[in-house]
Structure 1
């Protein structure tokens, strides 16, 4: 298979994964109209762990052997905070805007990596950060009518970026399945706590939607992994932004929502900033002598 064919296959997998994630976000928004956020997060983690069960049985108890339990806890904390805030945002702002703000995660990661992992930060990365910030400012509405839920969505991107950087640090010694397993276990434990005061028994239709969230999210993760196995992120990473038009279309289809003009301009700036990030090689900072 030629390099160009690999890139085409990789791009197709990435696009398919982003469509799956957009479907998941759509189902979350639909079910959030009748089910508390806390219950949706809990069942998302529960069904995620159920789907992982065959892999965990095959791996055996060795999958839990780790010397980085504190980092797994940290990753789970950031990840759960990102999940709660993103699900809340999905319930309160248009789907397209939610996906746009979510697209800022790749722009935030280099700055956290620079601060925490001592990775170098270049002028193109700084330029991308400025463009991304302007894009977010436009989406949040510079007229002063900023929706609180939009700020929550931005907070979810920061939490998700922190989780991804923690995963990068963990990946130096931990296999992917172990990282996912600990997140599933800790995530389920954390999300079970709020159920004590928010429990609401789902209906049959709600259960189907909750299963759908688990399936679409898992399928999206598998497709995304396959996409990056076929081609490098610098070649196909830009296709992760297809979640924006998918989310916008689904938002229009189910809720008759369309992106405002300022959100469109903001989205263009965020996607341009993401392209700059993907084309910029980040290397570890050299120690001072």
Structure 2
């Protein structure tokens, strides 16, 4: 199938908008629901959406020979989700979203250590620029809660990068749908454990926020899959950062969030550095669509 750049761009921007709305729902739910519950319901609702695929595919759909690879991938993904949702609970929406989107800065170095894949020449300068941007967003010396939440958000980006490398490690034998299934299954089981100590019965508005988390996050992932199926990854990548713009607009409209000049400068540096990491991939026409973090 020939590349359709316009179609890919439309799907990518739509995916970014859906993910920004999903992040907004996380922030809305966090006002009355602990992050442990939000992570659990995000995984549970996603798993429920996978059931038709599981029933239709039968045993062959979920049968795997590399369960250890799924465990490593899921572990990093779960840590990333906890960090991301914690950041969303305590930071302006745009900043929290951006910190998890720093994944391209760390992935080349994790791939080097884990898979022996030498990073491109642009990886180190991009990472240094990105770290400078993160420092401007974290703003050491501000309130301890804000700084710690920003650091946790940045660590969620590192964990997300490790999860993506974990996907790459098993993607030769495992289709994307099976990787997503095992991630959601393990996430649901593991994140159910803390509920024994942290459960709070959600109010009716909180249930709506939680349903929104599952619906928009899953919808965004499906749209992003369509985007990467329509155009090269290097073309799609820049459009995914419109999620930061959507998140900033939603944060301003719902909570009156306005980033200061330091944060704006940091956002610009991080986005620019992440785009720099995509330059070596322009010769590659297609990649597997990303799965759940």
Whether the 8 Å CA contact 1:125–1:280 is kept in 2: the answer is: no
The match for 1:287 is: none
Q: Say which SS state the counterpart of residue 82 (structure 1) adopts.
A: helix
Q: CA 1:245–1:84 in 2, change beyond 3 Å: closer, same or farther?
A: same
* 1:106-128 Cα shifts (integer Å, max 9, x gaps): 11111111111111223212111
* 1:81-122 Cα shifts (integer Å, max 9, x gaps): 111111111011111111221221111111111111111223
The match for 1:37 is: 35
Whether the 8 Å CA contact 1:21–1:216 is kept in 2: the answer is: yes
Cα offset, 1:143, TM superposition: 5.2
CA distance in 1, matches of 2:159, 2:205: 31
Runs of 4+ off more than 3 Å: 142-146
Cα offset, 1:229, TM superposition: 0.5
Cα offset, 1:203, TM superposition: 2.2
CA distance in 2, matches of 1:268, 1:143: 21
Cα offset, 1:180, TM superposition: 0.8
The match for 1:81 is: 79
The match for 1:286 is: none
- With normalisation by structure 1, the TM-score equals 0.93
- With normalisation by structure 2, the TM-score equals 0.92
**What runs of 5+ residues in structure 1 fail to find an aligned partner?**
284-289
CA distance in 2, matches of 1:282, 1:111: 19
Whether the 8 Å CA contact 2:62–2:178 is kept in 1: the answer is: yes
Whether the 8 Å CA contact 1:121–1:282 is kept in 2: the answer is: no
Q: CA 1:10–1:198 in 2, change beyond 3 Å: closer, same or farther?
A: same
The match for 1:180 is: 180
**What runs of 5+ residues in structure 2 fail to find an aligned partner?**
284-293
Q: Give the counterpart of 1:131 among 129, 132, 135.
A: 129
Whether the 8 Å CA contact 1:96–1:258 is kept in 2: the answer is: no
The match for 2:235 is: 235
The match for 2:24 is: 26
Q: Say which SS state the counterpart of residue 122 (structure 2) adopts.
A: helix
The match for 1:206 is: 206
* 1:188-245 Cα shifts (integer Å, max 9, x gaps): 0001100111111222222222111111011100000000101011112111110111
* 1:1-41 Cα shifts (integer Å, max 9, x gaps): 975xx111111111110110000000110111001111111
Whether the 8 Å CA contact 1:237–1:278 is kept in 2: the answer is: yes
Map 1:116-195 → 2, pairs under 5 A = 116-142=114-140, 147-195=147-195
CA distance in 2, matches of 1:36, 1:25: 15
Question: What is the root-mean-square deviation in Å for CA atoms of aligned residues?
Answer: 1.7
Aligned length: 281
Whether the 8 Å CA contact 1:14–1:223 is kept in 2: the answer is: yes
Q: Give the counterpart of 1:51 among 49, 52, 67.
A: 49
The match for 2:266 is: 266
